[in-house]
Structure 1
Amino acid sequence: MPRPLWTGAISFGLVTIPVKVVSATEDHSIHFRQVHLEDMGRVRTKKVCELDGQALSQDEIGKGYELSKEQTVPITDEELDQMPLPTAKAIEIVSFVDAESIDPIRISDSYYLATDGQVAAKPYTLLRKALERSDKVAIAKFAWHNRERLGLLRVREGAIVLHSMRWPDEIRSPESLAPRKVELDEGEIERAVQLTDTMALDTITGFRDAYRDALEKLLTAKSEGKELPEPAEGGEREQGQVLDLMAALNASVAAAKESRGEAGGGEATVHEMRPSKKATAQKTASRKKSTAQKTTAKKTAEVKKTTAGRKRTARKQSAS
């Protein structure tokens, strides 16, 4: 089991369930260090006092709240821990609601709640069974990292999961981002729904982080002195407005069916509907070249005609 991040108890009415909080997720990202390019020495960040310019160690650094530019009030971890907060060492369940009533944008980090000792096994199982049979999730309050938080408790594969949640006033309104009203044809809507059905999956467990895979190949090639992988082709998409929405939907449905090996593929994809920038530039250059050639030919013909006329006039004057 991963190292517990927090220990306390779930407060469920008059029932107390001792628990340990462990992270429910892992970070598999590849991290880089800042280095001096000349000798590859690691570059570190120093914490320096802006008043005396001295570099400080961690035990010399504390917390302070700035009342004004001239006054800062110091605060210690002991003072924060001793605040009269009922949720200081407890996950206090305050209500039960339908899961569908929770806006996913409010959900933040996720943690597993593990029993802390055998005494917690029975009340832990009791809460889990209650959540499963009621088809509801629990809303709770808890204090962590010097602030009170809102949490959501649900069951996942026999374990109780705690999702930290954002408070309602922490969610920005998207009202100003909504697009202007447009008219949609019923056929376009039905075709879009058909596209969602064609692209539907029972599970998303098969998705992989393609960027991390490519980065691992790059780092392996560099470390072994091998030739670097070739850049991927076809990853860049044309930007711009799709003029024929229905044609784009039809092509998208056909492409989705083809990717699944279903019949009906082989039609043009969305990206083939619009000419590429390179092709457009070539056509423009060709038109300009053709126009220039026609203009030059016209001017040459006019010059020849004028010269011939002058010569005829000169011969007539010489004969007279």
Structure 2
Amino acid sequence: MRSIWNGAISFGLVSIPIKLVNATENRSISFRQIHTEDGGRIRYRKVCELEDREVTQGEIGKGYEDADGTIIPITDEDLSHLPLPTAKTIEIVAFVPADRIDPLQMDSAYYLAAGGAPAAKPYTLLREALKRSQKVAIAKYALRGRERLGMLRVVEDAIAMHGLLWPDEVRAPEGVAPDTHVTVNDKELDLADALMDTLGEIELDELHDAYREALEEVVAAKAAGEAPPETPEPAKAGKVLDLMAALENSVRAAKESRGEEPTAPEKKEAQVRRLPERKTSRAAPKQTAGKKSTATKKTAAKKTASAKKSTAKTAQGAKKTAAKSTTKSTAKSTAKSTAKKSTAKKTTARKRTA
């Protein structure tokens, strides 16, 4: 691996010659900008605004833009007078526990390689001291024209250095957390713990960049004149109606993916429960089983009594109707007989008169 910086580690009065090597590499696929009509490359050229011409790298220097837009030229000679004792030295300033370092501060990672045979002894001494103390070293160093903060730790048999952001370069998480007050109960926490336990751990070496692999397949297909492979549509995420049901389903799905059979309570609880709909009117208060049976008996008795009353009323009505019809028929027959008698009397009287 090619070194990007040569210097020394200052460990008290001990000086360890080292070489700085990149510990990471960028494996992402990069694209060039092209003209879509003819496929020509799009390039950026460095042009002087005053002379309106392209300039070479040797003609380019540094300048600081003031608040009013004025450019103040800064030369390499001006920078050489800066009080930068760490220009070629990684100066260890303290040893602290690893958990004192906020992961938000971590930046680029490097390996520190011993610079020759004379550096092997002090290099090994520093490495073993870090191992036994179970601490990390905080150091200052200069790289690419500025002083930086670093953390030294042991990785296998080598010393690695992580570039750290200065504390004032890390933003506070203001306005990020939810403003709404939310209460989480113990059952929800238990389900979340069960989900974490079910998912378990994973070897980070097994993870890979699936997007980059798919992109490589697309590039290879286009280069061969073939149609790019079709990507399956992602599953549509359903609406989370109940957090508990979502957690229960997640635990069940995680167990099934690992070949474990969910227990009977989990199968029963894994059914999605919809939230109850809001009612516009107040519901009647619930009654106990004893009150319900008593009320049922009273209702049945009331129905029986009303049925008897209606039957009695019907019978009375029938009797009244029959009595009325009998009275009417009697009156009719009496009227007829009276009429006959009067007719007979009239006839007799007429005969007598004749």
TM above 0.5: yes
Deviation at 1:84, TM superposition (A): 2.5
What is the identity, as a one-letter code, of the residue corresponding to 1:192?
A
Q: Distance in 1 between matches of 2:127 and 2:48?
A: 50
What is the identity, as a one-letter code, of the residue corresponding to 2:224?
E
Deviation at 1:22, TM superposition (A): 0.6
What is the identity, as a one-letter code, of the residue corresponding to 1:124?
Y
Q: 2:252 — aligned with what? A: 254
Confirm or deny: 8 A CA contact 2:242 2:273 kept in the other structure: no
Extract structure 1 runs of 4+ deviating beyond 4 A: 265-268, 272-275
Q: Distance in 1 between matches of 2:204 and 2:145?
A: 36
Q: Which moved more, 1:161-170 or 1:46-55?
A: 46-55
Deviation at 1:73, TM superposition (A): 2.2
Q: Distance in 2 between matches of 1:82 and 1:120?
A: 30
Which string of whole-angstrom CA distances, capped at 9 and with x for unpartnered residues, describes residues 85-122 of structure 1?
11111111100111011111110110000011111111
1:118 corresponds to 2:117: yes
Deviation at 1:77, TM superposition (A): 3.1
Q: Identity over aligned residues, as a percent?
A: 54
Distance 1:58 1:199, change over 3 A: same
Deviation at 1:37, TM superposition (A): 1.9
Q: 1:289 — aligned with what? A: none
Deviation at 1:78, TM superposition (A): 4.3
Deviation at 1:235, TM superposition (A): 4.8
The unaligned stretches of length 5 or more in structure 1 are: 276-320
Deviation at 1:53, TM superposition (A): 1.7
Q: Distance in 1 between matches of 2:242 and 2:115?
A: 60
Q: 1:153 — aligned with what? A: 152
Q: Distance in 2 between matches of 1:24 and 1:236?
A: 39
Deviation at 1:75, TM superposition (A): 1.7
Q: Distance in 2 between matches of 1:274 and 1:72?
A: 66
Q: Distance in 1 between matches of 2:217 and 2:227?
A: 11
SS in 2 for 1:94: strand
What is the identity, as a one-letter code, of the residue corresponding to 1:35?
I
Q: 2:205 — aligned with what? A: 205
SS in 2 for 1:177: coil
Q: 2:40 — aligned with what? A: 41
Distance 1:251 1:158, change over 3 A: same
Which string of whole-angstrom CA distances, capped at 9 and with x for unpartnered residues, describes residues 22-56 of structure 1?
10011110111011222222110111222222112
Deviation at 1:203, TM superposition (A): 2.0
SS in 1 for 2:175: helix
1:22 corresponds to 2:13: no
Confirm or deny: 8 A CA contact 1:218 1:228 kept in the other structure: yes
Q: 2:194 — aligned with what? A: 194
SS in 2 for 1:190: helix
Q: Which moved more, 1:195-204 or 1:216-225?
A: 195-204
Confirm or deny: 8 A CA contact 1:81 1:88 kept in the other structure: no
Distance 1:209 1:258, change over 3 A: same
Q: 1:229 — aligned with what? A: 229
What is the identity, as a one-letter code, of the residue corresponding to 2:208?
R
Distance 1:254 1:51, change over 3 A: same
Q: Distance in 1 between matches of 2:252 and 2:142?
A: 52
Deviation at 1:13, TM superposition (A): 0.8
What is the identity, as a one-letter code, of the residue corresponding to 1:181?
H
Q: 1:307 — aligned with what? A: none
Q: Distance in 1 between matches of 2:267 and 2:7?
A: 60
Q: How does 1:57-76 map to 2 (within 5 A)?
A: 57-69=56-68, 71-76=70-75
Q: Distance in 1 between matches of 2:200 and 2:105?
A: 25
Q: Which moved more, 1:176-185 or 1:99-108?
A: 176-185
TM-score for both structures, normalised by structure 1: 0.79
TM-score for both structures, normalised by structure 2: 0.72
SS in 2 for 1:255: helix
SS in 2 for 1:176: coil
Distance 1:81 1:158, change over 3 A: farther
Deviation at 1:132, TM superposition (A): 0.4
Confirm or deny: 8 A CA contact 1:65 1:72 kept in the other structure: yes
Q: How many residues align?
A: 271
